[in-house]
Structure 1
Amino acid sequence: MRCEIRHTTEYRYPKPAWDSFNEVRLHPSREARQSVRLFHLHVEPEAVITSHKDYFGAIVHHVHVHEPHTLLRIEAQAIVDTHPVPLPPPIPFAELRGVCAPHTEFLVASPRVPAGDWAEVFGVRKPAPGDDLPGFLTDLTTSLYRRFRYDTRATTVSTPLAEFATHGRGVCQDFTHAMLGIVRGLGIPGRYVSGYLYSGGEMVGAEATHAWVECFLPGSGWLGYDPTNNCLARERHVKIGHGREYSDVSPVRGTYYGGGRGELGVEVRVYGEQ
């Protein structure tokens, strides 16, 4: 599938701001499941733009605006071809033993996915050694989709996972953190993925950057699961990058001097073509 993406972030300030510096993670990743045909970053007013790859391999742009401004507009445009992902064969849960050492950072707790028996909290049956790992992850994706309600007004980026567990309403970030807490507690490496979703009106989460989980499967590598939409992350999912949790891959974040209390506006449009 070919996906065309336009992502616009605007900061408006009541008074002039200056020395605005932002980290921008909007460049889609290049990997087996997708090819990047085009990426362009436009900033208004004129800015100094540099880039580097972060610890997890994502391309990060640094946007520095020196002059006073009351509007900062960051627009990213991309054209990405996504490719089919083969389904994994049956894998006994016991095969995880001895193969997870290189992925320890995706097994341990992090600030937004703290340690805890999240399988028990969310009422998830713990698998036996002979149970099929891909089947378990598919069932878990469905279970979380049915348990929680997608509600853009229920949580913020700082809502603790325990609070989401109690109220059962939130957005893709919350669904993803919940699944990460469960799989990591069961010894399955899991990482947070930030990206885009072409919904075609059939799925939720396409109005901004989307989030889902990638789990490590022995012999198959990393496979994406989207508990917000009860599906595998396939051609409609365009990946930007991954990390331990949301804060590792937040799309745009930064600081500035002056300006007063700014207002943030974000618009995402994803167009798909088979």
Structure 2
Amino acid sequence: MRCEIRHITEYRYPKPAWDSFNEVRLYPASGERQTVRSFHLLVEPEAEVYTHRDYFGALVHHVHVHAPHTFLKLQAEAIVDTHAVPDPGPVPFSALREVSGVDREFLTFTARVPAGDWPEVFGVKRPAPGDDLPTFLMDLTTHLRQRFTYSPGATAVNTPLAEFATHGRGVCQDFTHAMLAITRRLGIPARYVSGYLYSGGELRGAEATHAWVECLVPGVGWVGYDPTNDCLARERHVKITHGREYTDVSPVRGTYYGGGRGELDVDVRVYAEQ
């Protein structure tokens, strides 16, 4: 599937701001699942832009606007081809004993994905060593989709996971952090994925950047699961990057001097053809 993506972030300030620094993580990843055909980052007003690869391999654009300004526009445009990959075959849960090295980093708990008895909190039955891991992960994806309500505006970017567990309403970030907390507690390496979603009117979370989970299935690799939509991450999912939690993959973040209390508008459009 060929996906054309336009992502516009606009800041408006009541007073002039200056020395605005922004980190932009919007360059899609390349790999087995997808190929980046083109990418352009347009910045208004004129800015100094340079790039580097972060710890997780994402290409980060650093945008520095020196001059006073009351408006900043970051427009990312990309064309990405996504590819079908086979579903994982049977793998016993006991195969996770073989996980070692850097993959174990994604068993680490963080501020947004804290340690806790999350399987019990979310009503998830612990699997037995002989249970099939991919089946368990798909069942978990379904469980979270059925247990919680997708409700834009119900949570904020800093809403604690425990609050989402209690109130039962949130967005894709909350569903993803919940699945990360459960899988890591059960010894399944799992990472937070930031990306885009071509909805076609059928899937939830396409109005901005989307989030889902990649879990390590021994002998297979990293497999994407989308608990917001109860599905595997397939051709409609366009990956930008991954990390331990949202903080590692925030699409745009930055600082500035002056300006007063600014306003932020984000518009994401994904067009696709088979």
TM range (shorter): over 0.9
1:184-203 to structure 2, matched below 5 A, reads: 184-203=184-203
Q: Give 5+ residue unaligned stretches, structure 1.
A: none
Contact 2:92–2:132 (Cα < 8 Å) also in 1: yes
CA drift at 1:152: 0.7
Counterparts of 2:192 and 2:225, CA distance in 1? 10
Aligned equivalent of 2:3 = 3
Alpha-carbon contact 1:93-1:129 (below 8 Å) kept: yes
- Structure 1: 4+ residue segments shifted above 3 A: none
**1:13-162 map, 5 Å:** 13-162=13-162
Q: Distance between the aligned counterparts of 2:104 and 2:89, measured in 1?
A: 24
Is the CA contact (8 Å cut-off) linking 1:11 and 1:263 kept in structure 2? yes
Report the equivalent of 1:163.
163
User: Which whole-Å CA distance do the structure 2 matches of 1:264 and 1:39 have between them?
Assistant: 23
Deviation, 1:98, is 2.2
| Contact kept? 1:138, 1:225, Cα under 8 Å | yes
How far 1:153 sits from its partner (Å)? 1.4
Q: How many angstroms does 1:174 deviate by?
A: 0.1
Q: Whole-Å Cα distance in 2 between the matches of residues 221 and 76 of structure 1?
A: 30
| Amino acid in structure 2 at the alignment position of 1:188 | I
Shift of residue 104, structure 1, vs aligned partner: 1.6
Give percent identity, aligned residues only: 76
> SS in structure 2 opposite 1:139?
helix
Matched to 1:192, the amino acid is Y
Q: Measure the CA separation in 2 of the matches of 1:88 and 1:224.
A: 11
Aligned pair count? 274
Supply the distance in 2 between the matched residues of 1:80 and 1:102 (Cα, whole angstroms). Answer: 28
Whole-Å separation in 1 of the counterparts to 2:156 and 2:146: 21
Structure 2 residues without counterparts, runs of 5 or longer: none
Query: 2 CA distance for matches of 1:259 and 1:99?
Result: 49
Give the Å deviation of 1:100: 3.7
Amino acid at match of 1:264: L
User: Partners of 2:106 and 2:243 in 1: how far apart?
Assistant: 8
Report SS of the residue matched to 2:240: strand
State the shift of 1:254 in Å.
0.2
TM-score (norm 2): 0.99
- How far did residue 99 of structure 1 move? 1.9
- Alignment check: 8 A CA contact 1:100 1:189 kept: no
Q: Supply the AA of the counterpart residue of 1:171.
A: V
Cα distance, 1:23 vs structure 2 = 0.1
Report the TM-score, using the length of structure 1 for normalisation: 0.99
What does the per-residue CA deviation read over 1:198-235, in whole Å, with 9 as the maximum and x for residues that have no partner? 00000010000000000000110000000000000010
Instruction: Please say if residues 19 and 66 of structure 1, whose CA atoms lie closer than 8 Å, have aligned partners that are also in contact.
Output: yes
Q: Deviations over 1:229-258 (max 9, x none)?
A: 000001000000000000000000000000
Contact 1:28 1:195 survives alignment (8 Å): yes
Distance in 1 between residues matched to 2:8 and 2:129, nearest whole Å? 47
1:145-190 CA distances to partner (integer Å, 9 max, x unpaired)? Answer: 0000000111000000000000000000000000000000000000
